Structure 1
Amino acid sequence: MMRCWTKVVTLLLVALVIQSCARRKLPPGGEKLIELLEPYDGAQITTFPINFDWTSYSGAKIYRLQIFHADAPNSPFLTLASDISSYELNSPLEDGRYLWCVSISTDSSNFTIHSDTFEFTVKHRVELLFPHDGMTLNLSRVYLNWRTYPDANGYRILILKDDSIIWDRIEFNSSVKTSVPLFDGEYKWCVGVRCGDDSTFGHYSDTLKFIIRQRPLRLISAVPTPGSARDVIAHENKLFVADNQAGVTVIDISDINNPRTLSTFRWEGHWYTRRVLWDNLFGVLITGDYR
């Protein structure tokens, strides 16, 4: 019985060695004198183009770069030539695992000097569509749009001003409109994605810039309300807001640049305030409510 187990373990070890060598073996007669630099073994690629770099070899006439799918290590799907010790691949690769290696010819025909084989993984970043980088918008609430990411299970949208996050939102569609007003100024935004059962967000997009310039009207200030504002009127130095489920919210606007909430009046029962009117004849506030 012990001999059988010994044979099984030995066979497994031999199989592992053969598999490892199949990935990294050199062609017959090959000599490994090239060192691969980038992408390093195990690297994750999120952007394009991909830069392949390796050590130069004195006397090399031409370098041959080969790229394989990880599950087909003996069949390169890309064979590229370079007369320097680097190559910039501009064609995007699909998400997945890849192998790469380099060979050298000293006579422009036979490739007899070879590198080891390195593995890298491609994981695309989220691609932002709108607003474009540097775009100027005449808005206070901005529509953001990005390309749908395969197997996405939620996106995290960040808006920054002066390098501080001012809006952090999780969305399950590939577009959203900001729920907070944006004042004149310069902003940056980016989007990350959560894939499958992963609980963290990654594959973040590039960070793009947009500018808010509101004409002819300009947003001066803003104040949140406890409900969902449906209507508003101004009387003297106050705003009366029909604040839906929160009733009526009163806001002091004596300092227009720094409005502040004074009070909120909620009705007993499940009443929702949709309209507000001020009656100058009787000096009373009239509300329109429903439930």
Structure 2
Amino acid sequence: MMPSIQNIKSYFISGVQFILLGVVITGCDDITEIPDISDKEVLLIAPADGTTVRGNAVTFTWQPVEDAESYILQVATPGFPNASQVVIDHTIERDTSDNSLATSYSKEMLPNTYEWRVKAVNSGYETPFSTNAFTLTESDGFSENTVILNAPEDNQVTNEAEITLSWSAITEATGYRIQILDDSESVVQEEETAETSLEVTFEEGGFTWQVRAEKDAESTLYSSREILVDLTVPNTPALTAPADDSATGDTEITFSWNRENVPGSAEYDRISVYSDESLETLVTEEDVNTKTFTATLEEGTYYWNVQSFDRAGNEGGVSSTFSFTIN
């Protein structure tokens, strides 16, 4: 049966017709439809329309849109569509470490009148822009400023213990106070510096790092981010099926193995199946989260092993290699 093609959109640009398909065709029996988000709306949270923001920076926030793969944030002065300057044109992509998609963005900005807008995008569709206007004015005092954190990114997952924390300078600040908090929100380290960066050696675990600017007896609120430090490699998998040197008449093979997870970042396994004992001719390879994998293979002898990884970048040892034959 021939697959049907739906959600066809046609565009004309400079006399050339472009066709956008809302369906990805991977075979007659395997059609993946891209969710249509074009009728959804991005609900903006802050700055609310018509508000006045005081300080040196603005944090833009909005509600998540289901099936979005990214967001496009734009900020213009004095506004759209007749902008004299677009001061922010930023695409927010999914975090590859945990597949999360942020719904906020902070930026230092000069006092002025602005409009900001956001739209959600996936590989086939996009929502309309949602737009709010706001005015940014200078703060009444030093304490109303906001420290903008630069690196590492929020919810960073890493296998490095030595990390350089950095942030943007605050005018008139005489110094900065940095605190490291553990999972119980206890301060495990506190430092003061006149610089806008600090190298910290973390222990393993989840932490909050936060920075505030200080001027004499005045200080800003803390700006904070989360970080997960994972220094432990995953355990080596133990293969269970198909058994080593086994034979079967089935061409659909279900591979399985055992491995105890270790605390830290999310772990996954990479199974590799070869058609030669020297492990040079790869038949199939897949990253899986379930410690099992099913593949349809032709008759012959195969060799397979599994290696484990985690989202922090740690690599476990490669398992022993098993062989089996399909008759």
Asked whether the two chains share a fold, i.e. TM above 0.5, the reply is no
Higher helix proportion, which one? 1
Task: Give the TM-score of the pair, scaled to structure 1.
Answer: 0.35
Task: Give the TM-score of the pair, scaled to structure 2.
Answer: 0.32
Q: Which has the larger radius of gyration?
A: 1
Higher strand proportion, which one? 2
